[in-house]
């Protein structure tokens, strides 16, 4: 799949988001073949290389008439518009849904925020940690005798925000093929986390609520947690099912296999597994369990990914500065190198914007270098 092919070939996306969720979502759309134009304003809109694949970058000042006119011209030929401002800011800039959908009724407009477009916290700032906290997810991470464990910014920013925004956009584009109408998408990271917590909420509907570290899949079960090895590295054990647990126990040569669903055996299981795994290095255990179907894997560091056999098999060009192309289609993904220099003039000239503004400036007797458009060598 290349920049001109793929399921979204022919779709044009205008992305005015800044932080992780929006740029990640638009990169996923670019990976699917969409033409993505990321719109920044000066140095605050500098692209993040790891989330820039397949995009072009321009700089517009929407506080000027010419900059706003240029945006409206681009919107008239676009399929998707994305913004990540606090509620109401895009409207004040002349880039809200009401104004842009009037320019292009078929526009799919996606607002990516933390708390959503309404509610008492809608105007408040936040980050991944805050969205996880009020969605009830953060309070479930980690052991009960420690503060909640932070899962980087993967859950709210990238999954609940970026991934579900891209899913919403693709769904709206499909719906447009039937209705001919665009849609407004209110993509809130808190909502995304709540959606992903659905199965886990079942645990919290029992009369006795489990505390942090005591629910299913929290690490409370000794056969679903990480164990330290002799080199102070770790292996991840996910031997939930009976067959996997029996293979785990047998491979470690720990004697008679206990009933691992009987909680009275858990102390014995935990001590036995901890003692066993401390006898060898992580690499040695990785080799030993390579042919044993027991759900035991090494806990890798980021710098080890480019040489790990499974990662390399799926993506021979894997590198830490370039997010993998997913999902993988039958004709295969193609990693597309991206020049992240801001190319405002080049992009707008293709849309006919530069010539229109130059003619207007000449008619008004002002210099042809219009303040609303900028293409600095950033």
Q: Cite the active site residues.
A: 127, 157
322, β-bridge pairs:
319
Phi-psi category of residue 54: left, alpha or beta, with phi > 0 → left and psi -120 to 50 → alpha: left
Strands 35-40 and 55-60 turn out to be parallel
CB-based burial label for 208 (10 Å; 0-12, 13-18, 19+): exposed
Separation between Cα atoms, residue 59 and residue 373, nearest integer Å: 7
40 close to 61: Cβ distance less than 8 angstroms:
no
Label residue 277 exposed, middle or buried (CB < 10 Å: 0-12, 13-18, 19+): buried
Task: Please state, in angstroms and as integers, the Cα–Cα distance from residue 285 to each residue in 231, 254, 257, 279, 303, following that order.
Answer: 11, 15, 20, 9, 19
Could you give the CA distance from residue 223 to residue 264 in angstroms, rounded to a whole number? Answer: 14
Q: Where are the alpha helices (DSSP H) in 128-210?
A: 128-134, 164-179, 189-196
By C-alpha distance, which of 60, 5, 70 is closest to 38?
60
> Quick check: helix, strand or coil at residue 193?
helix
Provide the 3-class DSSP secondary structure of residue 238: strand
Identify whether the C-beta of residue 49 lies closer than 8 Å to the C-beta of residue 25: no
- 3-class state of residue 225 by DSSP: strand
**How far is Cα 129 from Cα 145, in angstroms, rounded to an integer?**
19
Phi, psi values for residue 246, rounded to 5°: -65, -40
């Amino acid at each position: 799949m290349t920049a001109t092919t793929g399921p979204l070939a022919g779709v044009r996306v205008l992305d005015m988001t800044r932080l992780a969720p929006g740029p990640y979502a638009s990169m996923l759309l670019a990976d699917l073949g969409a033409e993505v134009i990321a719109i920044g304003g000066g140095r605050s809109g500098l692209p993040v290389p790891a989330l820039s694949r397949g995009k072009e970058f321009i700089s517009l000042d929407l506080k000027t008439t010419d900059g706003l006119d240029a945006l409206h011209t681009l919107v008239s030929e676009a399929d998707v518009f994305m913004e990540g401002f606090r509620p109401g800011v895009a409207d004040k800039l002349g880039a809200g849904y009401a104004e842009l959908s009037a320019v292009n009724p078929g526009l799919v407009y996606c607002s990516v925020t933390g708390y959503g477009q309404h509610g008492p916290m809608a105007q408040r700032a936040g980050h991944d940690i805050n969205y996880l906290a009020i969605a009830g997810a953060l309070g479930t991470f980690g052991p009960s005798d420690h503060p909640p464990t932070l899962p980087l910014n993967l859950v709210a920013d990238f999954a609940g925000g970026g991934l579900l925004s891209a899913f919403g956009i693709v769904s709206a584009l499909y719906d447009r093929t039937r209705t001919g109408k665009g849609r407004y998408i209110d993509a809130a990271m808190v909502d995304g986390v709540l959606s992903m917590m659905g199965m886990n909420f079942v645990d919290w509907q029992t009369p006795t609520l489990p505390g942090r570290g005591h629910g299913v899949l929290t690490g409370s079960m000794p056969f679903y947690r990480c164990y330290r090895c002799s080199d102070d590295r770790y292996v991840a054990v996910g031997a939930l099912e009976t067959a996997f647990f029996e293979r785990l126990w047998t491979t470690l040569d720990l004697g008679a296999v206990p009933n691992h669903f009987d909680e009275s055996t858990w102390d014995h299981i935990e001590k036995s597994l901890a003692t066993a795994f401390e006898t060898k290095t992580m690499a040695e255990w990785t080799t030993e369990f390579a042919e044993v179907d027991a759900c035991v894997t090494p806990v890798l560091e980021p710098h080890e990914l480019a040489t790990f056999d499974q990662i390399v098999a799926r993506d021979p060009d894997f590198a830490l500065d370039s997010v993998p192309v997913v999902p993988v289609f039958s004709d295969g993904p193609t990693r597309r190198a991206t020049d992240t220099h801001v190319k405002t003039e080049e992009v707008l000239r293709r849309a006919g914007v530069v010539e229109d503004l130059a003619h207007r400036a000449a008619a008004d007797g002002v210099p042809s270098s219009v303040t609303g458009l900028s293409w600095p060598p950033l």
